[in-house]
């Protein structure tokens, strides 16, 4: 029997999931299990979809469905959030419990970890209290084999009284047997229990004692010290003296690779888009398009989109795979563990470190990731402060200024280390601001004590480089880039209009810059720089091009690829090292982009908290820049 999958494009839903069968005979299968047992990997292997997986808990926070088939039988698979128990303690457990208890599933497949079977079998025992239509999928059998752990699957099946199948989903092993077991379980009688609603299991049945008794004699460990290698690594990566320096080195290395590796591909993309621009203009002229329309489409929309793709794509194509490797290897949960004490001192949740890490790629993704935080108060704190870490859209501005004013003027290999060090320093400042604002919010408008949470430290795993590249490019790079382009295209049209429509003897762009000049001067900036940040709200990547365009009084977006020429232009318009620092500070701490704002509105369901999420970083960014500018002015006066 050959297993085939159909990527049906069935969307995720947070609640009220609409089950979409292709045939009446299709079986609805709920995939349940603890976090970090490979549940989403099983889902992806069967359906061919690309549900984001990672080697740390809390990745799935909604119900997602996909379609698979084996022979003539079809399956609608519903990947429900990972949970340790059906006793509701969090949004994940509530979503999982509600779907299982709804009676919508024909079969509940409980995915367990072969390396830690006793820990994950407890959930299966709880689910068996609700329905007998259960399949136990003991996943990660390949890892158990490497650690010389042997499990008597037949004995486990006899004790549970339901089908038990061993799988290694990342390799596709055992999935056909898994489908046959689903067919078998679907034919079982449920003795009227299905859909009755959740009933608390009898004491001890689903607890640690019950699981230990059930697994007694079924698991054989050839090497009792199989956990020792991981413990040795943890003593280094989570040690009191070594954890923080190692985290900084990882951060520094990631930035260095991103900066050093992105320059040449960016230049190639710029050359390609420049060549394509001429061809597109010729095509519009041939088609008889009016000149204003041609210029708005090419010099407005096209140039903005081309700039963003050329600037964003190479760094993302490097940064996201590196970030995903840290996920797959199991290092990110160690980061959360290391930073938990800091967040607890700020009356926040340690899980916020994970959502903060997501924000380095995209603040909107970081906001969505805040769903893994159980407490509504702490979730709001994490959402409001997520924009204090620079996203991929702000890195180009920071890197360009660092290279021009502080790292020798060129972005060659010799300056990459210096640039990475300075950039890492600014990122650490952003993390410090995250701690500060989290504490301020937690002792004022969002008062409360930090909640406790269980953070599982998964085993270290060798990342699958091929899948890492595919997943990071398809699931993250293309997604984030597409969203940035969608926001930037209309911004390009507006920017062209501002630069071409004149009121009196000046363009709208010049009038706006002049109006902002007095306030911008207090921040150590000028009206053009502040206007560029305002117009860059749809996409932070266009901040530098807008500055260039305004300084040159050009009617179209202008790119200067030579950093020496660009630095000369900036200094001719009054830039000093203090202007550069103020611009970097404001780039680090200012309002979130339009995409992130829309995501905050969707996640919080509140216009009030969306406005708070905009005003908090905006006010703080202005305050920091004012303080820096005032301090420099005072020191200069004294000297």
- Segment 7-17, tens digit of pLDDT: 333 333 333 45
Query: Which band of pLDDT confidence, cut at 50, 70 and 90, is reported for residue 138?
Result: very high
Residue 202 pLDDT > 60: no
Residue 299 pLDDT > 90: no
CB 63 within 8 A of CB 95: yes
Beta bridge partners of 506: 503
Residues 6+ apart with CB under 8 A from 631: none
Please tell me which residue, 194 or 308, carries the higher pLDDT value. Answer: 308
What percent of the chain stands above pLDDT 70? Answer: 84
Residue 198 pLDDT > 50: no
- What's the average model confidence in pLDDT over 489-511? 84
Q: How far apart are the first and last CA of the chain?
A: 83
Please give the mean pLDDT across all residues of the chain: 81
Of 160-164, 272-276, 359-363, 593-597, give the lowest mean pLDDT range. Answer: 359-363
Query: Which band of pLDDT confidence, cut at 50, 70 and 90, is reported for residue 409?
Result: low
- What's the average model confidence in pLDDT over 214-237? 83
- Segment 383-403, tens digit of pLDDT: 999 999 888 778 878 888 888
What percent of the chain stands above pLDDT 90? Answer: 25
Please tell me which residue, 1 or 66, carries the higher pLDDT value. Answer: 66
- Segment 344-385, tens digit of pLDDT: 888 888 778 878 877 877 788 788 878 778 788 889 999 999
- Segment 174-197, tens digit of pLDDT: 999 999 999 988 876 555 444 333
- What's the average model confidence in pLDDT over 117-131? 87
- What's the average model confidence in pLDDT over 200-224? 67
* Model pLDDT, residue 209: 59
d(CA 46, CA 308): 36
Q: Find the angle CA(73)-CA(76)-CA(81) to the nearest 5 degrees.
A: 145
Residue 405 pLDDT > 80: yes
DSSP-derived 3-state class of residue 430: helix
CB 438 within 8 A of CB 352: yes
How many C-beta atoms lie closer than 10 Å to residue 517's C-beta? Answer: 15
Element containing residue 3 per DSSP (H, E): strand 3-6
Please tell me which residue, 615 or 103, carries the higher pLDDT value. Answer: 615
CATH topology of domain 3-221: Rossmann fold (3.40.50)
Cα 510 from chain centroid (whole Å): 38
* Model pLDDT, residue 10: 36
Of 1-5, 123-127, 165-169, give the lowest mean pLDDT range. Answer: 1-5
- Segment 19-71, tens digit of pLDDT: 778 888 889 999 998 877 888 888 888 887 655 444 344 444 456 788 888 88
Domain residue extents for the chain: 3-221, 243-638
DSSP-derived 3-state class of residue 530: helix
* Model pLDDT, residue 471: 65
What is the torsional sign of CA 441, 444, 446, 450?
positive
- At residue 353, what are phi and psi to the nearest 5 degrees? -65, -35
* Model pLDDT, residue 100: 81
* Model pLDDT, residue 197: 37
Residue 454's Cβ-count burial label (10 Å; 0-12, 13-18, 19+) is: exposed
d(CA 639, CA 126): 73
CB 541 within 8 A of CB 396: yes
- What's the average model confidence in pLDDT over 254-268? 80
d(CA 445, CA 454): 26
Please tell me which residue, 518 or 47, carries the higher pLDDT value. Answer: 518
Residue 140 pLDDT > 70: yes
DSSP-derived 3-state class of residue 316: helix
Residues 6+ apart with CB under 8 A from 39: 31, 32, 33, 60, 79, 82, 111, 139
Helix axis angle for 395-406 and 303-329, nearest 10°, is: 100
Q: How many CA atoms lie within 13 A of 576 on its CB side?
A: 5
Residue 219 pLDDT > 90: no
Q: Find the angle CA(625)-CA(628)-CA(631) to the nearest 5 degrees.
A: 145
Tell me if the pTM is above 0.75: no
Query: Which band of pLDDT confidence, cut at 50, 70 and 90, is reported for residue 483?
Result: low
d(CA 551, CA 545): 10
Residues 6+ apart with CB under 8 A from 55: 36, 327, 328, 329, 330, 332, 333, 458, 461
d(CA 389, CA 384): 11
DSSP-derived 3-state class of residue 290: coil
Residues 6+ apart with CB under 8 A from 552: 558, 569
What is the torsional sign of CA 268, 271, 273, 276?
negative
Beta bridge partners of 502: 507
- Segment 578-592, tens digit of pLDDT: 999 999 999 999 999
- What's the average model confidence in pLDDT over 484-509? 81
d(CA 544, CA 242): 38
| DSSP assignment of 482-505 | HHHHHHHHHHHHHHHHHHH-EETT
CB 320 within 8 A of CB 361: yes
Of 190-199, 257-266, 320-329, 376-385, give the lowest mean pLDDT range. Answer: 190-199
Strand 64-70 with 73-79, pairing: antiparallel
d(CA 155, CA 165): 12
Cα 551 from chain centroid (whole Å): 36
């Amino acid at each position: 029997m050959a297993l085939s999958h159909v990527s049906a494009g069935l969307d995720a839903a947070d609640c009220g999931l609409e089950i979409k069968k292709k045939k009446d005979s299709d079986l609805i299968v709920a995939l349940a299990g603890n976090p970090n047992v490979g549940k989403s990997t099983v889902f992806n292997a069967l359906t061919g979809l690309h549900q984001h997986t990672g080697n740390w808990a809390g990745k799935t926070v909604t119900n997602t469905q996909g379609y698979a088939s084996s022979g003539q039988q079809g399956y609608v698979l519903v990947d429900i959030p990972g949970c340790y128990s059906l006793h509701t303690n969090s949004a994940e457990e509530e979503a999982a419990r509600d779907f299982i208890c709804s009676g919508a599933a024909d079969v509940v497949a409980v995915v367990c970890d072969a390396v830690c079977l006793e820990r994950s079998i407890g959930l299966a025992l709880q689910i068996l209290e609700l329905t007998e239509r259960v399949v136990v999928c003991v996943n990660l059998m390949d890892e158990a084999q490497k650690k010389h752990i042997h499990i008597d699957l037949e004995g486990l099946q006899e004790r549970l009284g339901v089908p038990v199948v061993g799988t290694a989903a990342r390799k596709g092993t055992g999935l056909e047997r898994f489908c046959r077991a689903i067919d078998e379980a679907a034919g079982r009688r449920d003795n009227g229990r299905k859909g009755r609603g959740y009933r608390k299991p009898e004491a001890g049945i689903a607890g640690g004692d019950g699981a230990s008794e059930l697994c007694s004699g079924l698991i054989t460990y050839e090497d009792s010290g199989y956990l020792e290698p991981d413990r040795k690594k943890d003593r280094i990566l989570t040690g009191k003296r070594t954890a923080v320096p190692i985290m900084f080195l990882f951060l520094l290395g990631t930035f260095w690779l991103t900066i050093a590796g992105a320059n040449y591909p960016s230049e190639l993309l710029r050359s390609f888009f420049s060549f394509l621009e001429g061809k597109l203009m010729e095509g519009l002229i041939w088609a008889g398009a009016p000149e204003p329309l041609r210029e708005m489409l090419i010099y407005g929309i096209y140039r903005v989109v081309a700039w963003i793709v050329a600037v964003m794509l190479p760094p993302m194509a490097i940064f996201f795979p590196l970030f995903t490797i840290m996920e797959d290897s199991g290092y990110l949960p160690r980061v959360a563990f290391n930073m938990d004490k800091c967040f607890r001192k700020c009356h926040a949740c340690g899980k916020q470190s994970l959502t903060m890490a997501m924000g380095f790629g995209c603040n909107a993704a970081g906001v969505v990731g805040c769903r893994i935080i159980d407490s509504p108060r702490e979730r709001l704190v994490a959402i409001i402060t997520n924009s204090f870490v620079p996203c991929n859209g702000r890195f180009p501005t920071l890197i360009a200024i660092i290279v021009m004013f502080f790292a020798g003027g060129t972005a060659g290999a010799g300056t990459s280390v210096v640039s990475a060090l300075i950039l890492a320093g600014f990122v650490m400042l952003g993390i410090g601001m995250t701690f500060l604002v989290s504490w301020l919010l937690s002792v004022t408008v969002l008062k409360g004590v930090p909640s406790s949470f269980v953070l599982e430290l998964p085993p270290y795993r060798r990342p699958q480089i091929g899948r890492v590249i595919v997943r990071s490019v398809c699931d993250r790079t293309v997604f984030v880039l597409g969203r940035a382009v969608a926001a930037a295209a209309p911004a390009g049209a507006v920017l062209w209009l501002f630069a071409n429509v004149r009121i009196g003897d000046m363009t709208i762009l010049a009038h706006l810059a002049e109006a902002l000049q007095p306030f911008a001067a207090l921040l150590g900036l000028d009206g053009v720089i502040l206007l560029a940040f305002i117009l860059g709200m749809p996409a932070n990547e266009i901040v530098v091009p807008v500055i260039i365009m305004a300084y040159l009084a050009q009617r179209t977006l202008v790119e200067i690829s030579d950093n020496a020429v660009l630095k000369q232009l900036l200094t001719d318009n009054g830039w000093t090292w203090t202007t550069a620092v103020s611009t970097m500070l404001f780039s680090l701490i200012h309002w979130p982009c339009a995409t992130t704002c829309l995501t905050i509105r969707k996640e919080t369901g509140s216009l009030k908290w969306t406005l708070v999420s905009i005003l908090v970083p905006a006010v703080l960014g202005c305050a920091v820049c004012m303080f820096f500018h005032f301090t420099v002015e005072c020191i200069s006066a004294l000297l």
